Amino acid sequence: MSDLARIAQQHDADDPLAGRRALFVLDDGVYLDGNSLGALPRSVPGRVEDVVRRQWGALKIRSWDESGWWTAPERIGDRIAPLVGAAAGQIVVGDSTSVNVLKALVGAVRLVDDARDEIVVDATTFPTDGYIAESAARLTGRTLRPVRPAEVPAALSERTAAVLLNHVDYRTGRLHDLPSLTAAVHAAGAIAVWDLCHSAGALPVGLDEHGVDLAVGCTYKYLNGGPGSPAYLYVRSGLQDRFDSPLPGWNSHAEPFGMREAYEPAAGALRGRVGTPDILSMLALEAALEVWDGVSIDAVRTKSLALTDFFLECVRAYVPEGRVESLTPVRHEERGSQVALRCPSDAGDVMKRLIGRGVVGDFRRPDVLRFGFTPLYVGFADAERAARVLAEELR
């Protein structure tokens, strides 16, 4: 056993979150792709079976009331709220991240004066956010202005209506400064919209503390909700009475069963609902969130940073010099919960070989190997093994 392997063994023995690993369905491999799809919590299959066999099969339509189907979007939103630093009553679960980005961005523009004719978007964003931002600009008659996050403060003006930013860059794992960027957006009189897909469940967000206006996020990454699990929309309480969703639906009506001809939005975050909720995936998500009971997001962040530090240390020790280059910031305040390594030589094939040996990460064109560290089920021995196997494949 190498010195680093012994250190990993000791870190795992001292890890206060180590017991959480048993709550997930895992094999003998190393799963470092939770930043794309979280592992399956053991509580989910039984819950889904109950929803299908008893709630749907036996109770049928009675389950909208008797099984709490109707209130699931806001109830599950309140389960997510502490993980992103939000008080209850501000998050509603449903639809996809893309749909919620559209709601948030168009809703943001509708909150400001018509003279504000620009939407600023993160130029390095995940492609879908860019596509939706472009569509939102066309829908609202605004001009879209792509800007790198570091350049946002200088780009803001009296013309800025809304700013859409990613909390963590999906390629590099760079953590952007949500507090200072939100403050800059507000100082310019604009609305701050944040995409939390790569931060929620991995690090503290502080939506309420930092006065974020609107936020969206998925639940299938660090929240382990399952493939295609519903996303969520955060609407700050002080804006809820003015939030005007571009997708009004019967589920967000003040009187949904009144079948009124005219639309009247429900009070609070409920106006972020649209149509009938995806009950099967939503209740699977609710079961998955049970793994967070009793877990501090600060403890998760502490372990995340320790894991990524240790992995980078192992990469430096094991991998031949010059074969990979870390794109992930060294400074903790600039790092999410993944490590991105540039691998100039056949990165796609390297990742395939790693997966074949039980080390699962992912590949982003043209030359990036991504390794996501989900602190609830990834340990230090996993990090050491992944770096060691990577080195063997690169020699």
Written as six digits, the tokens of 285 are: 């998500």
The catalytic position among 33, 95, 169, 195 is 195
Rounded CA separation 114/142 (Å): 9
The catalytic position among 20, 236, 335, 370 is 370
The catalytic position among 24, 220, 318, 371 is 220
Name residues whose C-beta falls within 8 Å of residue 274's C-beta, 6 or more positions apart in sequence. Answer: 94, 95, 99, 103, 245, 247, 248, 249, 251, 252
Helix, strand and coil content of the chain, in percent to the nearest 5, comes to 45, 15, 40
Contact 9, 381 (CB under 8 A): yes
Among this protein's residues, is 380 annotated catalytic?
A: no
Among this protein's residues, is 222 annotated catalytic?
A: no
Chain-centre distance for alpha carbon 51 = 26
Among this protein's residues, is 220 annotated catalytic?
A: yes
Neighbours of 6 (CB within 10 A): 11
Q: What is the CA radius of gyration of the chain?
A: 22
The catalytic position among 21, 47, 79, 221 is 221
Contact 323, 393 (CB under 8 A): no
Residue-by-residue DSSP string for 143-173: EEEEE-GGGHHHH--TTEEEEEEESB-TTT-
- Residue 16 corresponds to which amino acid? P
Neighbours of 182 (CB within 10 A): 21
Pairing verdict, β 91-93 and 232-235: antiparallel
**What are the two backbone dihedrals, phi and then psi, of residue 325, each rounded to the nearest 5 degrees?**
-135, 125
Among this protein's residues, is 79 annotated catalytic?
A: no
Among this protein's residues, is 257 annotated catalytic?
A: no
Count Cα atoms within 13 angstroms, Cβ side, for 137.
20
The catalytic position among 20, 47, 79, 126 is 126
Rounded CA separation 343/395 (Å): 13
Strand partners, 147: 122
Rounded CA separation 333/190 (Å): 25
Task: Give which of 127, 124, 123, 161 is closest to 141, Cα–Cα.
Answer: 161
DSSP element (H, E) containing 4 = helix 3-14
Give catalytic residues, as residue numbers.
Answer: 126, 195, 220-221, 370
